[in-house]
Structure 1
Amino acid sequence: MIPGPKNLITDIPGLKVGNAQDDVLKSGTTVLIADTPFTASVHVMGGAPGTRETDLLAPDKSVARIDAITLSGGSAYGLDACSGVSDALRECGRGFRVADAVIPIVPGAIIFDLLNGGQKNWAENPYRALGRAAFEAASDSFALGTAGAGTGALTAMLKGGLGSASLVLDDGTTVGALVAANPMGSVTTPGDRHFWAAPFEIGTEFGGVGPDPNAGLGRGFESRKMQSMQTQATERANTSIAIVATDADLTKAQCQRMAIAAHDGIARAVVPAHSPGDGDLVFSVSTGARPLTNPEQDLTRIGHAAALCLSRAIARAIYLATPAKGDLLPSWSAIPGNS
């Protein structure tokens, strides 16, 4: 397996991603769309998720294909970004048809970034407009790091961000991941240089500094995020929300299995992960372009690749985050000795 040409989820043909953010707000939105409706499912492992339309993605529910997925900052307010995406899709004539009605299906999830130092005293919820702007910006190339839904993200020790990565399997199947990384846990080992995901890095995609040579790691828990926010609310002010995707032709049930497997990618890149205060969830997407030849073996490989992509995407999100005015936490690049 090797990364795709862009090392982005949009290496999967037909997928596009759009970002919109407000740097004063220190928040933003990211949307994934496709040329045609796609099969999708979801799996939640965090204890504090914030979601929209996820029940429809269960394998036994009636809607077979959806039109977009939205990742957003803003906690519960950010779910309104899905409405902005729905408005734009409806104007394009896209959605689930019931007689003369057109109903775009746009599941979404949010991260909590309300206490990150940005100005949140809006008079009107800004996320509907950010959702529309992200839809209109959708392309096969997009920014990572301090961008879109990752604009105001924070990890335990460093700025979070938006990340993506891809892999092309030996049979030509492409798998990719997209993540807004805002976890309670750390993405780097003590000292803020080495990434927990380092064993899965390909080339120098997140700095090439390699694994931490120390052993016995992970037993302590330090959090600049909690200290900076100075409130017990930070126990629920976290989440890594992700999308994994493939061009393999998967059913909703197979998509759900891919999402379950991909959660390993969060656990390999964030310590600790899947806590009661995280809303960790993974959406999974199939564009259906490539038939499976051996469903069980193919799905195993696709799930494994999805987990690898998600670990790398999380590390890339933090590695590519950039400093901004009013930040509560430093970016990885601002730590002395990191380069």
Structure 2
Amino acid sequence: MTPGQRNLITDIPGLKVGNAQDPDLKSGTTVLLSGAPFTTSVAVHGGAPGTRETDLLAPDKSAPGVDALVLSGGSAFGLASAQGVMDALHEQGRGFPVLSARVPIVPAAIIFDLLNGGDKDWGENPYPALGRAALVDAKTDFEIGTFGAGAGAQTAMHKGGLGSASLVLPSGVTVGALVAVNPMGSVTTPSGRHFWAAAFEVDGEFGGLGVDPKPELTLPPSRKVPAMASLGNTTIAIVATDAALDKAQCHRMAVAAHDGMARAIVPAHTPMDGDLVFAASTGARQLDDPGIELAAIGHAASLCLARAISRAVWEAQPESGDTLPTLKQDLGLI
């Protein structure tokens, strides 16, 4: 397996990603969409999720597809970003047809980034506008690091961010991941100089720092303020493929992808994290042997997610008012 041309989730034909962020707010929104509805499910393994429309994604629920997926900062306030996306899609005539009506289906998940040094003293909730702006920004070549839903993200030791990665399987199936990285845990080992996911790195995509020669079993230290470490965190992700999967198969893909989160973040899936993975299928490529191929797709999704998490932290950029350094700052690279 090798990364796609962009090493982004948009290596899957038809997918686009849009970002919108506010540097004063230190928060933002990311939208994934396609030209047509796509099959989606979800797996939630964290103890403190914040979501919208996720019940519809269970295999036994009737919604056949979604029009967009939203990842956002802002905690519960950020769920309103999906309303901005929904309103804009409705204006475009998109949505699930119900007789003469159309209802855009826009599931969303949020991270807690309210204590990161940004100006949160807003009068009107800024997230509907950020959602709309992210939709307008949707494209195949998009930015990672301090952008979109990752604009205000933090890990235990460093700034977090938005990450993405892809893999093309020998069968020709493409798998990709998109993630906003804001965990209670750390993406680097206790030394702060090596990624937990270093063994899965491809072509130095997150610095080529290598595997920690002296790994420790103790938990990495945390620089987060105690309130943020105890009240809210969360890593939220989307894994996607062009393989034709139904909702139940998408759910299995999402479950498998959580392995990548556990490989890249220590600890993961804590009671204070709302760790969640959406899984999406554009349905463009039929599978010859779904049972066997689904296992390979799930494995690829876990690898993409582990790499995307590390890329998010590696590409984070320093900004005025930050309460945590970037990894590159700690390493003396900027």
TM-based fold match above 0.5: yes
Structure 1 residue 60 corresponds to structure 2 residue 55: no
Q: 1:29 aligns to what?
A: 29
CA drift of 1:220 comes to 3.0
Aligned partner (choices 298, 308, 314) of residue 309 of structure 2: 314
Taking the aligned partners of 1:315 and 1:296, their CA distance within structure 2 comes to 30
* 2:187 alignment partner AA: V
Taking the aligned partners of 1:235 and 1:280, their CA distance within structure 2 comes to 15
Q: 1:74 aligns to what?
A: 74
Taking the aligned partners of 1:230 and 1:65, their CA distance within structure 2 comes to 40
CA drift of 1:77 comes to 0.2
Q: 2:322 aligns to what?
A: 327
The answer to which of 11-20 and 94-103 deviates more is 94-103
Q: How do residues 178-197 of structure 1 correspond to structure 2 at under 5 angstroms? A: 178-197=178-197
Contact 1:193/1:338, CA 8 A, preserved across alignment? no
Aligned partner (choices 267, 285, 294) of residue 280 of structure 2: 285
Q: 1:237 aligns to what?
A: 232
Structure 1 residue 84 corresponds to structure 2 residue 84: yes
CA drift of 1:191 comes to 2.2
CA drift of 1:236 comes to 2.9
Name stretches of at least 5 consecutive residues in structure 2 with no aligned partner: none
Amino-acid identity (%): 66
* 1:180 alignment partner AA: A
Aligned partner (choices 248, 255, 269) of residue 253 of structure 1: 248
Q: How do residues 159-178 of structure 1 correspond to structure 2 at under 5 angstroms? A: 159-178=159-178
Residues 1-31 of structure 1: CA deviation (Å, up to 9, x unaligned): 0000000000000000000000000000000
CA 1:28–1:158 in 2, change beyond 3 Å: closer, same or farther? same
Taking the aligned partners of 2:193 and 2:314, their CA distance within structure 1 comes to 10
Taking the aligned partners of 1:191 and 1:80, their CA distance within structure 2 comes to 38
Post-superposition, which runs of at least 4 consecutive aligned residues in structure 1 deviate over 4 A? none
Contact 1:218/1:271, CA 8 A, preserved across alignment? no
CA drift of 1:91 comes to 0.7
- Give the aligned length: 334
Aligned partner (choices 273, 293, 297) of residue 292 of structure 2: 297
Q: How do residues 136-147 of structure 1 correspond to structure 2 at under 5 angstroms? A: 136-147=136-147
CA drift of 1:97 comes to 1.0
Q: 1:43 aligns to what?
A: 43
Name the Cα RMSD after superposition.
0.9
CA drift of 1:336 comes to 3.3
Q: 1:218 aligns to what?
A: 217
Taking the aligned partners of 2:161 and 2:56, their CA distance within structure 1 comes to 28
Structure 1 residue 263 corresponds to structure 2 residue 262: no
Residues 113-152 of structure 1: CA deviation (Å, up to 9, x unaligned): 0000000000000000000000000000110000000000
Structure 1 residue 3 corresponds to structure 2 residue 19: no
Name stretches of at least 5 consecutive residues in structure 1 with no aligned partner: none
Aligned partner (choices 249, 268, 274) of residue 273 of structure 1: 268
